[in-house]
Structure 1
């Protein structure tokens, strides 16, 4: 399964430790800048810049222990966690205010002591709001990261389930196809047409090798898809000999378009089973492709018996081939596809698939 390419920001978000230190440093540098700009509005001595830097550094250091404390209480009941965060934020704010004010009196006031020790608690309420905001941001960012992780896990699980479904649908074709082919080989052996039976087994081995060599969830070029189709038709030609004619025409702009692997095989198999087998004379299958409004259109037609009713009514929900194809298209393209069953120009059935045009990177 291919991993999505992550942006630098996503890679940074994934590294929680680095992301914390980036925000921690950036936040306190921002705090220092705001205070410095505020000091420019007043006539403060140049030494006040050092006070601002030391105050921001004290705030930087005092909030680091909160990170490790909040990690430990993360699993606590929400009410208790909020209470602890408020109390711890207040205690931290008081400690920061004392250090900040002591620095101010020692450096800016040249060691002059205030008359009351309560002066050391000045601005502690404002600092409490700052620390409380820091705590709120910490919990908010951590919760957001956890939501993103859960979202990524859900997307990964959904992607794995989607790919498992596609593999199941794709591999379901093999037993269905093998059942029909082995029945045909058995019939040839009973009729003692050993040479034809041997040839058919040989052709079958080539087709299965191609099937195994291609990932079921990968897309292939239409040209490669037709090569696989010809391997399958070689098997059927052994059965029908000269009674089966194939006409394939791909427009040049669609040859390198990407399609689900072996998407055409069940359509051909359906034509052979319900149309060619019931035709008197030569059975004809026509495969066409063209582009229209940034879409790729694939059409498989046969010259089976004339259809008197609405072709869509011929669709059997319990059938494997066409139902499987429709489910694969739905899984791959969502609502961006069409699967139509139409009456042939003179007789028979046409199955038309319309999907978005996707090209190989080298062809873009």
Structure 2
């Protein structure tokens, strides 16, 4: 068992602090005896005193566990009464031990002397109680903090899954609609080829964990699978170019990042032009950032506050939401006019490799 697991085990952690605390108490008193030039025999008095204090403070733990759910006032009363009783008994044992060992069996004439200096012992037990409750409340706060972090993480994962799984129905609807059109115009061979490629793409998509990032090379493979489907529809009208720096192939990106953006470009830039067009994907690294660019040479559209006027689906909005969930504020996405025509989308995310995750 490693140290972290040992600390997280509350029972073991209690005994570690309990024993360590009383050893420290004994050590401080021993050093104090050296300052007063007491005999070596006093060392046994110190050891037995610490041992008795450790024994009398153990029942306090179980008393406080029973009183844990009481009101604050009742808990305070329990702490004071329990600490005083434990301190009083401890002081009696300390006095008897001191008289027996250091005073060679001397006994006082009046019984109240057995409780002599009980206030000091009560103070020690009260301090022990304060540390016990302080540590318990700290552990509770840490536990609640972990619960909140876990809940936020689960909510974040749920959001990512929801955003990620929005893509497949959207894409599937468009593709099935295209296959239906091909069948209606008796392009059965072409439709069959599209079904086969669609099957490959969906298998790849379902194999990808939506909660994990993938390497850029894997993401390009996914885009190519998607484009193979679209090329069945557009044939030579659809052209695509990749320009990827060699040091970016293993960089991590959100899975299916390019697909909705490429789909938008095909829908609004390629499909509307008789001769089709070109979609250019560029990836480069700049310092600690990965820069991605998706550009088309279509007719373009009005850009309002960084959003496409034509955008009415889940593509760009979904991408922004996923980037926000994955990178918080450490990302940017900029939509601008492509020169001479078309739309360009630039994305900046942290440059990460697999071992950085």
Q: Name the TM tier (shorter chain).
A: over 0.9
Question: In the alignment, is residue 55 of structure 1 matched against residue 46 of structure 2?
Answer: no
Q: How many Å separate the matches in 1 of 2:73 and 2:104?
A: 46
Question: In the alignment, is residue 128 of structure 1 matched against residue 110 of structure 2?
Answer: no
Could you say which residue in structure 1 is the equivalent of 2:89?
Answer: 95
Q: How many Å separate the matches in 2 of 1:349 and 1:88?
A: 76
Question: In the alignment, is residue 279 of structure 1 matched against residue 278 of structure 2?
Answer: no
Question: In the alignment, is residue 211 of structure 1 matched against residue 205 of structure 2?
Answer: yes
Q: How many Å separate the matches in 2 of 1:316 and 1:58?
A: 80
Residues 75-102 of structure 1, C-alpha deviations (whole Å, 9 max, x = no match)? 0111011001101111111100000000
Shift of 1:117: 2.1
Matched positions, count: 357
Greater shift in the superposed pair: 235-244 or 302-311: 302-311
Q: How many Å separate the matches in 1 of 2:220 and 2:292?
A: 11
Q: How many Å separate the matches in 2 of 1:89 and 1:110?
A: 30
Q: Which of 138, 151, 156 pairs up with 2:150?
A: 156
Could you say which residue in structure 2 is the equivalent of 1:360?
Answer: 354
Could you say which residue in structure 1 is the equivalent of 2:185?
Answer: 191
Question: In the alignment, is residue 20 of structure 1 matched against residue 8 of structure 2?
Answer: no
Contact 2:291 2:349 in 1 (8 A): yes
Unaligned runs of 5+ in 1: 1-6
Contact 1:316 1:323 in 2 (8 A): no
Could you say which residue in structure 1 is the equivalent of 2:339?
Answer: 345
Residues 47-70 of structure 1, C-alpha deviations (whole Å, 9 max, x = no match)? 100000000000000000110110
Question: In the alignment, is residue 253 of structure 1 matched against residue 233 of structure 2?
Answer: no
Contact 1:89 1:132 in 2 (8 A): yes
Contact 2:307 2:335 in 1 (8 A): no
Q: How many Å separate the matches in 2 of 1:201 and 1:164?
A: 30
Contact 1:307 1:347 in 2 (8 A): no
Contact 1:311 1:341 in 2 (8 A): no
Q: How many Å separate the matches in 2 of 1:307 and 1:331?
A: 28
Could you say which residue in structure 2 is the equivalent of 1:142?
Answer: 136
Contact 1:245 1:283 in 2 (8 A): yes
Shift of 1:116: 2.4
Question: In the alignment, is residue 223 of structure 1 matched against residue 214 of structure 2?
Answer: no
Residues 290-338 of structure 1, C-alpha deviations (whole Å, 9 max, x = no match)? 0112100111111101446558342567521111111000000011111
Contact 1:28 1:56 in 2 (8 A): yes
Could you say which residue in structure 2 is the equivalent of 1:31?
Answer: 25
TM-aligned CA distance change 1:311 to 1:287, over 3 Å = farther
Shift of 1:360: 2.1
Contact 2:22 2:53 in 1 (8 A): yes
TM-aligned CA distance change 1:297 to 1:315, over 3 Å = farther
TM-aligned CA distance change 1:93 to 1:286, over 3 Å = same
Q: How many Å separate the matches in 1 of 2:327 and 2:34?
A: 61
Unaligned runs of 5+ in 2: none
Contact 2:334 2:346 in 1 (8 A): yes
Could you say which residue in structure 2 is the equivalent of 1:262?
Answer: 256
Contact 2:92 2:114 in 1 (8 A): yes
Contact 1:311 1:343 in 2 (8 A): no
Question: In the alignment, is residue 114 of structure 1 matched against residue 108 of structure 2?
Answer: yes
Shift of 1:33: 0.7
Contact 2:45 2:102 in 1 (8 A): yes
Shift of 1:282: 3.4
TM-aligned CA distance change 1:315 to 1:96, over 3 Å = farther
TM-aligned CA distance change 1:108 to 1:172, over 3 Å = same
TM-score by length of 1: 0.95
TM-aligned CA distance change 1:308 to 1:60, over 3 Å = closer
Residues 139-189 of structure 1, C-alpha deviations (whole Å, 9 max, x = no match)? 111111111111111111111111111011001000000011011001101
Q: SS of the counterpart of 1:278?
A: coil
Q: How many Å separate the matches in 1 of 2:189 and 2:225?
A: 18
Contact 1:340 1:353 in 2 (8 A): yes
TM-aligned CA distance change 1:318 to 1:143, over 3 Å = farther
TM-score by length of 2: 0.97
TM-aligned CA distance change 1:316 to 1:154, over 3 Å = farther
